[in-house]
Amino acid sequence: MNSTQPTCTAAPDVSNLQTWLADRYFRLDRDEALADCLTDIFTIDGAGALTATPVRDPLNGETAGPMLIGDSGSGKSSLLRRMLRTNPAFSVISETSEGNTLFETVKPAATIKSLAITIAERTGYTKMKSNIHGDEAWEVARHRMSVCGVSLLVIDEAHHLLRKGSGRDTEGAVQTMKNLLQGDSSVAVILSGVQKLYEGVLSDPETDRRFIKMRLRRIQEGSGEAHRFGLCVVKCAQHLGLDLPADMCFAERVLFAENGDAGRSIRLAKQTLRRAMIMNRRAVDLSDAALCFEKIHLGREAAPFASGDWSTIRENLESMGWVR
């Protein structure tokens, strides 16, 4: 594959453009799907706007929450963070600001008890003893969330709580997810994780029925979502001053190469655009895409980015059973 040499034209402010590109969010169908889920979880005010007040069951006062399932790298965290950043109903608690939302990313070694301790600390309680019983830790954590006005708890990478091993209570972790939705100090809860999370919650019918399921599906070729992905890529290229010939079918190649995985496709597209920019090219080049793909998938041939007619290349790859 021939590589286009860098041009000698004056380079724009590459540093600022790199930051701009990194910050760009590709709004896809999943954004609307999550917004729809939230209307089932939170009340709507008189003006039709979403509020941070959870919908409660009129009989038992329970709240609810969506469970977001997707493969690693599918964009779950980005989707949730953008929703929280752009929806005025939610304000995330940080070291410098108060709010009504806690966003907790579970570390691989975390347990359900250590999560309670972290939540207590994030809400200002630092006197928790390490040998405290798990149930007591959660009583403190729930009280602290109530005192601080937390109405939404987001638990990202929640599948880590279901790891088996010494000192780990998988069944108790699943039941805690249910208990967070119950009682006077209950909050709305968003769980996010891989298939293991879904299977763990599914194992307990009482917990399973309380969570709305949302799966991040792959982008299908020729779909409206694929078209929106392509438009996002084109707009990014235009802002960066890069030509992106339509007959190159760059977005289609990226989606094919990454098997329609939105998160991975966005990453590959951005890395390719960034490389073209820092190499001071006039246009996106397939050699850049191939190199970026090979860096991500070591040892995998970047066949989708071969020069030539894309429809012919795709047909040949499909006939050979090519997969990433």
Q: Are 181 and 210 in contact (CB under 8 A)?
A: yes
- With a pLDDT cut of 90, the percent of the chain lying above it is 83
Tell me the mean pLDDT in the region 278-286.
Answer: 93
* pLDDT reported for residue 73: 85
pTM for this prediction: 0.88
DSSP letter at 92 equals: B
* pLDDT reported for residue 12: 57
Domain extents in the chain? 29-215, 219-319
Comparing 5 with 91, the larger pLDDT belongs to: 91
- Reply yes or no on whether the pLDDT at 7 is more than 80: no
* pLDDT reported for residue 93: 95
Residue with tokens 């109405």: 151
* CA–CA dist 51, 88 (Å, integer): 8
Q: What is the mean pLDDT of the chain?
A: 92
* pLDDT reported for residue 165: 79
- Reply yes or no on whether the pLDDT at 167 is more than 80: no
Nearest to 195 by CA among 39, 76, 59, 288: 76
213-228: pLDDT as tens digits: 999 999 999 999 999 9
Tell me the mean pLDDT in the region 106-111.
Answer: 94
* pLDDT reported for residue 308: 93
Asked if CATH classification 3.50.50.60 holds for the domain at 29-215, the reply, yes or no, is no
* pLDDT reported for residue 324: 63
Going by pLDDT thresholds of 50, 70 and 90, the confidence category of residue 322 is confident
* pLDDT reported for residue 79: 96
**CA torsion, points 316, 292, 285, 265, in degrees to nearest 10?**
70
Residue 200 structure tokens = 């763990």
* CA–CA dist 129, 131 (Å, integer): 5
Tell me the mean pLDDT in the region 38-67.
Answer: 94
Going by pLDDT thresholds of 50, 70 and 90, the confidence category of residue 9 is very low
Tell me the mean pLDDT in the region 311-320.
Answer: 93
172-214: pLDDT as tens digits: 999 999 999 999 889 999 999 999 999 999 999 999 999 999 9
* CA–CA dist 298, 239 (Å, integer): 30
- Reply yes or no on whether the pLDDT at 6 is more than 60: no
68-95: pLDDT as tens digits: 999 998 899 999 999 999 999 999 999 8
